[in-house]
Amino acid sequence: MTLTTIQNDHDGRSAILNQAINGDLSEQESAAKPQLGASSSQVQEDPIFELLQQFRLDTRTDKIDLGIGVYRDHINQSPVFSAVKHAEQWRVDTEEDKAYIGPLGDLPFCQAISGLAFGEQLAESLASRFAYAQTPGGVGALRLAFELLAQNNPDCSLWLSDTTWQVHIPIANAAGLPLQQYSYYDPETGPSGFEALLSSLSAAKPGDAILLQVSCHNPTGLDLSEAEWHRLAQICNEKGLLPIIDMAYHGLGDSLEQDRRGLQIMAAELPELLLCYTCSKNFGLYRDRTGMVLALTADTQRRGMVEKQWMQLATRHYFTPPAHGASLVRQILNDGELRKLWQAELETISARIREVRQNIFNTLSEDAPSRDWSFLTQGRGMFSLFPLSESEISRLRQDYGIYIVNNGRVNLSGFNDLNFNRAMQAIAEVARSPLRG
């Protein structure tokens, strides 16, 4: 592209532009003090993406990425669902414009996701109390949920599990929410136990919110039982706590039905809750940023108010969410054949993850019996925390080219037919070492 000299000059700006085009503007002629990038004191590196950068710079051909949270299949590919490809072809054939879809996004998509998340029967019975908005992925849903919470109750605190997805914390900080922790997992001893969780919530005050991952807990993979969900719903009722349900791995645990039981219990037993849902994992739409935030309100009047708040918050942050991914999910869920195809593909993924868990457990229980590997068969979903110290994780990285997050979180789908044996040998060798710390 060739830039031409500007002819008209009304206020002197064209002379400056022409100098810039012709390369005549020197640094000495600018009195402006640089303001961008002046300080990095407030910038913290994301540990997972920092790990990914290290992985990319590693020149070893047999390196193994077990860090980044993207599903990979048995040949180390992150495939596009066939159902998604069919829906994309439908989209190409039928899309007539690229107009804005509005701050609340694709509402038929939200309706379809609410039926998927709650189950059609329960969703239908609660529909008059649902206030929802399409969001740019799960992070967008969490940010809007946290900001809604801060707007409606500035004095509340948000309770997070002591071991959680690391991005939960900066999102909550950005919304201005004070944070508290409830007991869930001890890196040294493992699961804290449900009674410890309840005991830590004794300090919660009415109006506080508690963030709960409904299935496939990231990073531990350890979920609450149905009985524990019922008990927790009772505690929330008694103490006046608002649950925020993070639903990021629906269908990657046991099944679509089983993975939503905690949400169903909470919705049936409590007057209010917030749901943050993402299609990144269970539809493979990572880069298409497809999510939803939903408020189950106490009555229809409050529903209308929350809808207005969703619209205000969305407009403030991004104005309108991306349309593409939501249109694909809507088409898949509303088309009988595509829905069957998608469910079959999702079941194949979840079955593979369960098989990988079992295979790792069998191998390491035999090759490194000094460690307890039972968490693998007790857990669900893509992630588990391996009982490895930071020095052991560093050794895996340096000596074997195996990249694991420093807290021990492992993406189990990163194990595949190409690397399984070598990875098991390396982890067993490090786990047998007497040196930890």
- Please give the structure tokens belonging to residue 28: 């000495």
Query: Measured between alpha carbons, how far apart are the two ends of the chain, in Å?
Result: 58
Instruction: Identify the pLDDT of residue 134.
Output: 99
Task: Give the CA dihedral 200, 259, 348, 365, nearest 10 degrees.
Answer: 30
Looking at residue 9, its pLDDT comes to 52
Q: What is the pLDDT, as a whole number, of residue 206?
A: 97
- The CATH classification of domain 100-334, taken from the options 3.30.470.20, 3.20.20.60, 1.20.1050.140, 3.40.640.10: 3.40.640.10
Q: How confident is the model at residue 2 (pLDDT cuts 50, 70, 90)?
A: low
pLDDT of 110-147, one tens digit each? 999 999 999 999 999 999 999 999 999 999 999 999 99
pLDDT, tens only, 60-88: 999 999 999 999 999 999 999 999 999 99
Whether residue 385 is predicted with pLDDT greater than 60 in this model: the reply is yes
Are the beta carbons of 143 and 156 closer than 8 angstroms?
A: no
Q: How confident is the model at residue 18 (pLDDT cuts 50, 70, 90)?
A: low
pLDDT for 374 beyond 80: yes
How does pLDDT run across 34-47, given as a tens digit for each residue? Answer: 878 776 667 777 88
Cα separations in angstroms, 337 against 247, 332, 334: 25, 8, 9
pLDDT at 41: 61
CA 72/CA 79 separation, integer angstroms: 7
Q: Using alpha carbons, select from 379, 410, 388, 318 the residue that is nearest to residue 191.
A: 379
Determine which helix (DSSP H) or strand (DSSP E) holds 391, and give its type and residue range.
helix 390-400
Residue 5 neighbours by CB under 8 Å, 6+ apart: 18, 21, 22
Distance CA 394, CA 400 (A): 10
- CATH level 3 topology of 47-80+343-432: Aspartate Aminotransferase, domain 1 (3.90.1150)
Q: Is the pLDDT assigned to residue 372 strictly greater than 70? A: yes
Residue 247, SS3?
strand
- Show me where the domains of the chain are located: 47-80+343-432, 100-334
What are the structure tokens assigned to 34, written together? 């640089």
Please identify every residue annotated as catalytic: 165, 246, 248, 281
Q: Which of 1-10, 260-269, 353-362 has the lowest mean pLDDT?
A: 1-10
**pLDDT given for residue 21 in this prediction:** 52
What pLDDT score does 186 carry?
A: 86
Least confident interval from 20-24, 77-81, 149-153, 281-285: 20-24
The model carries a pTM of 0.90
pLDDT digits (tens, 9 = 90+) for 166-206: 999 999 999 999 999 999 998 877 888 999 999 999 999 99
Task: Say which amino acid occupies 75.
Answer: I
pLDDT over threshold 80, residue 437: no
Q: What percent of the chain has pLDDT over 70?
A: 91
Alpha-carbon separation of residue 274 from 64, 78, 296 (angstroms): 37, 30, 6
pLDDT at 32: 74
Cβ atoms 292, 109 nearer than 8 A: yes
Look up residue 21 and give its two tokens.
């085009």
E strands in 201-327: 209-213, 242-247, 273-278, 291-296
